[in-house]
A and B are shown apart, each in its own frame.
Chain A
Amino acid sequence: MLLAVLLPFIIAIFIPFLSKWKEKLHTGFFVTAVPVVIFIYFAQFLGAGFEPVTREYSWIPSLDINILFYLDGLSLLFVLLISGIGSLVAFYSIYYLHKSEQLGHFYVYFLLFMGSMLGVVLSDNVFVLYTFWEFTSLSSFLLIGFWNYKERSRYGALKSMLITVFGGLSLLGGLVFMSVITGTTSIQQMIRQQELILNHEFFPLILVFILLGAFTKSAQFPFHIWLPDAMEAPTPVSAYLHSATMVKAGIYLVARFSPMLSASDWFFIIVSTAGIVTLCWGSYMAVRQTDLKGILAFSTISQLGMIMAMLGFGTKVAIFAAVFHILNHATFKGSLFMIAGIVDHETGSRDIRKLGGLMTFLPVTATLALFASFSMAGVPLPFLNGFYSKELFFDSAINLEQTTTGIAAFLKTIFPYLAVFGSIFTFVYSMYFFFGTFRGKANLDELPKKPHEAPFGMLVSPMILVAGVIIIGLFPQIINEPFIAHAATAVKGFEFTKHISFWHGITLPFIMSLTVIAFGTVLVLSLTKWRSVYRIVPGVLSLNKFYDGLVDRTVSYSSIVTKSYMNGSLGRYVRLIIAAIVIAGFGIMAATDGFHLETSNLAEITVTELFVAFMMIIAAIGTIIVNNRIAAILILGVVGYGLSLLFVIYRAPDLALTQFIIETVTLALFLLVFYHLPKLEKKNESTSTKTLNLVISVGFGALMTMVAISAHSSKMFDSIADYFIENSYKLGGGDNIVNVILVDMRGLDTLFEITVLGIAAMAIYGLIRLRGSKKEEE
């Protein structure tokens, strides 16, 4: 099983080599073989007696992160969808993408996506799941931006990336919470410890995080806005990612965790409300679109909302219908995208206002479109699978489990009406899609190309998908027992099969279907009259405007924040740093009661020291006041020599010596350089700056004084000086203890201090001798 998941990745490595021969043989032929092989491999698990299969491969055992694959009915449904539709899309893309395109890039991204999608649905380890999850976001980003010379492609790719990665990160948060609470990283183990999670105080957070991940990926309201913009991708990508597979990853996630989370009332409330709202909004907005792919994008959004709503309902019928509709939607939506691609390919336009009357030019395509769009609309004909799942959807919407909680009970009364409302618009846009494109008057002058039927190779994939629509429509039982039932069992946790039949009497769901068609027909016929409604409703409430504003404002606000302190002035940074030190230092001292004053162990005060200290203070202040360069330098010298006098007084002969010499050399250096530096300017700063500088520097000085006094007053243990004094002669063979420490006891310090001097010397040499160019010197 590991090989099946890794196969796309492995083949992806070789694609760049294969694509060199793309002139002779389209790279797509090699690629098509991959999902076919995977499909055949997974098809062997099909059958009524299917049992879940587990495979474990070691990855990071120390963190309990292993590649743990768990193939149950739900995963099987998804892997077959991914590999099956993957094969068809790969085959379709051979005819769709011309050899002049960057086929190598395309197929590498495509295979990356396929492999990571297989990983998502097979992983039982949450962190492996998350890894593959982000891989799908990443490869989807690359695929949407495939024609990266188009501005809209880049915009769409970035938008989908931002939204899905936002959701992905919150998913990670939820997964981490769950694995910490349950102490395991396996989803199946977590489900077994359901009680622990449900009763944990962080349960609301977990629920929100996981659902955010699922809703962003599956384009649920209000995160659906990335999907219409992702239509800038090549059509095979739209067909594959944005109808059949990636957008269903969120559905998969909700289904996968629903045995655990659905016990909470909030799961029902959030998921089904989000689903129903998405269903209605998506189908309402789809009618507004003029681009074929735009219609399909909003249609996908709305259908995903429908599946999500059914997962939220959580009854046996609802789960069964949700799983069934995942399959049905993949068949008709995949083929519709391919049909839109064919129309685009053969006429040069996807604008439904320019299209029309293509029935006679593209008879085969039109027939396929007829089946697919009527199935999408849920027209009650016994050979269309969309009808069955829609019927089951109505059935589940009116047969919700009884609860007493306020909100949930209220929602249950309005859901059937919303379901019908959404379905009416589904009917409207399906008819609009079909009749707007293929019927009516043909205006060939406006089309960039003269339309003619597509090559046979391009028609094969949608044909197979439409055949699927019809076969499932005619014989719904053949996929019921061996396939859908297992998936529903995996979600709901117990065995359940629903007998799917076309005719089961005049029931309430059937009447709802008829209502949908009646209202839908009226609305389709009067479409031109009520079009202007759209100017009112989404007008101001456009979520895209909100998103654009958010992105723009993030950029502008962060630049304001950054510029507020990063203004390029070093003085300002130093001020900030020192002020932070002062505040933190005083804060800590105040918080820990850190100030001590102990006067019992002080050296006596003598006049000499006082005099020297006084002199140094005067000189130090002098460096600030004096405006004459040479005076400032000489006054600095006073401080240095004063320090060396203090070293003499405090019995540090070596220090005094060194300080004296170095002060002299430094002074000489100052004097050497000062000649070349501009004169000191009169300080013409504002009073406020001066005050600020004064406050900061006095604060810093006061802090250091307090630290020094406090540290001196609270010695915790004796110095280790005795060791050095005792062993200086014994071990080091020297009388001068300081020197023995420097070269013997702590010789390493000295070695690197020499290195520092050496580096400084070389740097100075370099600065003076090495010049970038002659010009610079002038």
Chain B
Amino acid sequence: MEIIMAVLAGILFTTAVYNLLQKQMLRIIIGTALLSHGAHLFILTMGELKRGAPPILSEEVEQYTDPLPQALILTSIVISFGITSLLLVLAYRASKKNGTDNMEQLRGNEYE
């Protein structure tokens, strides 16, 4: 199963990068969102999948899944949420101010 998950993470990365390479801001942000999904899945797959019960202590369980990757992913989800929302608002402001959300048209003056 891990191999399938690795392939899935790879496909997420592929689509993320493809979106990142587009010109429109909305697509780029979609790309970053996909990239973080891919990364989270990646971390999860790095640990061992489905070896035991959910990491909540109880009497009758012998083996638990690895809790550490989960804690790491949880932190990461929150951070990427913060970044994504900031990016979104930034895109909103940038396109309001510049009248375009095309990255190719957003260029500084050469002599600035």
Contact = CB atoms under 8 A, between A and B. Distances in A.
A632 B30 contact: yes
A629 interface: yes
Nearest to B110: A568
A708 interface: yes
Interface string B10-43: 1111111111111111110110011001101110
Nearest to B82: A760
A623 B33 CA distance: 11
Contacts of B91: 673, 677
Contacts of B29: 670
Given A609-B4, A741-B67, A760-B85, A697 B74 contact: no
Interface in B71-112: 71, 73-75, 77-79, 81-86, 88-93, 95-97, 100-104, 107-108, 110
A655 B41 CA distance: 11
Contacts of A753: 75, 78-79
A53 B35 CA distance: 71
A756 B44 contact: no
A64 to B, nearest CB: 47
A439 interface: no
A545 interface: no
Contacts of A609: 1, 4
B70 A738 contact: yes
A165 to B, nearest CB: 28
A606 B50 CA distance: 11
Contacts of A604: 1, 50
A575 B21 contact: yes
Contact of B17 (A578, A640, A673, A756): A578
Contacts of B10: 701-702, 704-705, 708
A575 B83 CA distance: 21
Contact of B49 (A603, A665, A768): A603
B53 to A, nearest CB: 6
Contact of A616 (B8, B74, B89, B100): B8
A698 B12 CA distance: 10
A683 B104 CA distance: 13
A693 B71 contact: no
Interface string A736-752: 11100110001001100
Contact of B12 (A639, A680, A759): A639
Nearest to A724: B67
Contact of A756 (B6, B46, B57, B79): B79
Contacts of A531: none
B46 A708 contact: yes
Interface in A722-738: 724-725, 728-729, 735-738
A696 B21 contact: yes
B33 A640 contact: yes
A472 B56 CA distance: 101
Contacts of B56: 653, 735-737
Given A652-B54, A678-B95, A704 B67 contact: no
B11 A738 contact: no
A764 B85 contact: yes
A652 B44 CA distance: 10
A421 B40 CA distance: 82
B52 to A, nearest CB: 8
Given A681-B24, A741-B71, A602 B65 contact: no
B67 A725 contact: yes
Contacts of A750: 75
A643 interface: yes
A604 B44 CA distance: 16
A697 B66 CA distance: 31
B103 to A, nearest CB: 5
A669 B30 contact: no
A180 interface: no
A655 B13 contact: no
A712 B2 contact: yes
A24 interface: no
A494 interface: no
A609 B49 CA distance: 12
B47 to A, nearest CB: 7
B1 A602 contact: yes
B8 A617 contact: yes
A729 B57 contact: yes
B66 to A, nearest CB: 4
Contacts of B24: 678, 680-681
Contacts of A662: 77-78, 81
A765 to B, nearest CB: 9
Given A621-B15, A666-B81, A705-B6, A764 B86 contact: yes
Contacts of A578: 17, 20
A681 B24 CA distance: 8
A771 to B, nearest CB: 9
A776 B97 contact: yes
Nearest to A678: B101
A408 interface: no
Contact of B86 (A605, A709, A737, A763): A763
Contacts of B96: 676
A737 B67 contact: yes
B26 to A, nearest CB: 5
Contacts of A676: 92, 95-96
Nearest to B97: A776
Contacts of B42: 704, 708
A753 B58 CA distance: 29
Contacts of A669: 84-85, 88
Nearest to A761: B82
A705 B41 CA distance: 11
A736 B70 CA distance: 12
Contact of B1 (A603, A735, A737, A761): A603
A603 B23 contact: no
**Cβ-closest 7 pairs across A and B:** A701-B14, A705-B10, A760-B82, A708-B6, A697-B17, A737-B55, A697-B18
Given A676-B92, A737-B55, 9 more contacts: A568-B107, A571-B103, A621-B11, A669-B88, A697-B14, A719-B48, A735-B58, A760-B86, A768-B89
10 contacts: A571-B103, A624-B18, A643-B37, A650-B50, A704-B9, A705-B6, A721-B64, A725-B67, A738-B55, A750-B75
